[in-house]
Amino acid sequence: MIFNYSGFLEGKRVEGTLEASSLEDCEKMLLAQGYRIVAIDEQGGWDLSHVISRFRPGELAYIFYQLHILLAAGIPAVEALSMVSRTLRGKKAELFRKIDADLIAGCSLSAGFAATRAFEPIVATLLEVGEASENLSFVMAQLSTYYHDRESLTKQMASVLVYPVLLIFVTVFVINFVVLGVMPGFEELFTQAGVSLPWMTRVLLHISRFVSAYKWILLGVFIVVIAVGMFYVRSKAGRRTVERWLMHVKLYRDIKRSDVLTMLAFLVRSKVQLQDALYIVEEAVPQEQLKTDLRQARKALYGGTPLSESLRCSMYFDAMTIMLFEVAESSANFETILNALHDNTKRAIEMQTRIFLSVFEPVVIILLAIFVGFVIFAVAMPMFDIVNYVSWR
């Protein structure tokens, strides 16, 4: 069988293929050559990488917390995985049964998780650290905390947008109903009454006629634009373009910096070398520019350039972060500084989220009020003229 592998050899990231009779033999051969394994998977074998998209951070936090409790209670990893798999359904349960089977076959837990390709590189690396230190329960607890923090941040940001998005949806629905359902009937009434229509009503009637005549074409164009936009955003060039726009928003930069600091603090606390930690974070973040910044910092670190110096030109890292990196490098107390930076960035995000919400909601309400007011006046003004005309007759 042919296996794909990735890992570290003498501090350098390496990837390749190796022929072996089993996954266990492949792992033994790589370990004998001095590799620190990150991932092994059989060519044409199990591919459960799509499952990760169905795992929310909150689910992973709960799963790793279950494993932490079971391992802390003295239950062997094989039995713990089997018990966790029974709490899951479908492909999620299948994934954990696969890891359990690999463990029974003699594969290490970290290699078993990595072989599924369904988890971020940070998971396999930390499990390897836990296996080496014989402290898997602690690592499971750290993973649970990490994914719990990510879930909390995601929910916090989602809560900011729920009310404005709901308000926009309801307003669009009401205006669409008035334009397509109400205005065509009123147009005939206004014509029969011989009422001179104000400019707002004429504009609304023109919009109503245009939308009614070309509604299916407009719907098709809208769908095509959305599809092309989604395709472009998912492309590498599209991700870079969107990232360049968002990088000008301080809240976005703070959130991404918080993600990096969270992972770095987590990895350094788990005794992972800084160079390896930077590579793992680089692989985990989806932002292209942030990947480039971290890759350049990692290469510069191998060349002897301090991390604070190599990240100084990155828009994602502010002056305070760079200054504290310098302090950490001079005091050799990187873990404490990273934890402090993470906590400070988290508080800053909470504050900026509240400020953003306090400004964004009123702006949305005012803009929607303008549109709704325009529609109401456009419909109401001719009706008053009709009432006056009937009263005069």
Arithmetic mean of pLDDT over the chain: 79
pLDDT score recorded for residue 38 = 58
pLDDT score recorded for residue 44 = 54
Contact indicator for 104, 78 with CB cutoff of 8 Å: yes
Is it the case that residue 8 has pLDDT exceeding 90? no
Q: Which residue has the tokens 């719990």?
A: 148
Q: How far apart are CA 293 and CA 289, in angstroms?
A: 6
Q: 184 is written with which tokens?
A: 């065509």
pLDDT score recorded for residue 218 = 85
Residues 6+ apart with CB under 8 A from 105: 22, 23, 24
What is the separation of C-alpha 212 from the centre of its chain, rounded to a whole number of angstroms? 39
Instruction: Calculate mean pLDDT across residues 91-119.
Output: 82
pLDDT score recorded for residue 224 = 94
State percent of the chain over pLDDT 70. Answer: 85
pLDDT score recorded for residue 46 = 46
CA distances from 278 to 138, 247, 262 (A): 22, 21, 12
pLDDT score recorded for residue 29 = 81
Is it the case that residue 88 has pLDDT exceeding 70? yes
Binning pLDDT at 50, 70 and 90, where does residue 53 land? very low
Q: Which of 7-11, 176-180, 329-333 has the lowest mean pLDDT?
A: 7-11
Sheet holding 36-42, edge to edge: 12-19, 2-9, 36-42
pLDDT score recorded for residue 15 = 75
Return the higher-pLDDT residue of 351 and 270. Answer: 351
Is it the case that residue 284 has pLDDT exceeding 80? no
Q: Tell me the range of 26-30, 222-226, 305-309 where mean pLDDT is highest.
A: 222-226
Burial class of residue 382, CB neighbours in 10 A (0-12, 13-18, 19+): buried
Contact indicator for 154, 255 with CB cutoff of 8 Å: no
Strand ranges, E, within 178-246 = none
Is it the case that residue 18 has pLDDT exceeding 50? yes
Is it the case that residue 361 has pLDDT exceeding 60? yes
Burial class of residue 381, CB neighbours in 10 A (0-12, 13-18, 19+): middle
pLDDT score recorded for residue 47 = 46
Instruction: Calculate mean pLDDT across residues 338-367.
Output: 79
pLDDT in tens, 125-172: 778 778 877 788 888 988 888 888 778 777 776 776 777 777 777 777
pLDDT score recorded for residue 65 = 92
b (16+ CB within 10 A) / e for 355-374: ebeeeeeeebeeebeeeeee
Question: What's 317's DSSP letter?
Answer: S
Binning pLDDT at 50, 70 and 90, where does residue 202 land? confident
Instruction: Calculate mean pLDDT across residues 353-359.
Output: 77
Is it the case that residue 176 has pLDDT exceeding 50? yes
β-pairing, 12-19 vs 36-42, is unpaired
pLDDT in tens, 292-318: 888 888 888 888 888 888 888 888 888
